[in-house]
Amino acid sequence: MKFDTAHDADPGKEFEMYCSKLDRQGVRYVIEENKLQDDGSIVVKIRKQYNAYKTEGYLD
């Protein structure tokens, strides 16, 4: 996912809000990579649970 600086957005805050939303919804996720780009945007590689399927070993 890419959190960019379009329309004067704060990518760090957008990323925090996205993670908070996942936490509130009870979605399991793992952040594999988090890179700050030259233009100020943040690129995140994330694995997350979809639907209510079991994630045996996938998110460990």
pLDDT in tens, 1-30: 999 888 878 999 999 999 999 999 988 899
Q: pLDDT at position 45, please?
A: 94
Question: According to the model, what pLDDT value does residue 32 have?
Answer: 93
Could you tell me the end-to-end alpha-carbon distance of the chain, in angstroms, rounded to an integer? 21
Look at residue 19 in the predicted model and tell me its pLDDT. Answer: 95
Distance CA 34, CA 42 (A): 7
Helix segments in 1-60, DSSP class H: 11-25
Query: 29 - beta bridge partners?
Result: 48
- The residue ranges of DSSP E strands in the chain, in sequence order, are 2-3, 29-36, 42-48
Tokens for 29, please give them.
């996720």
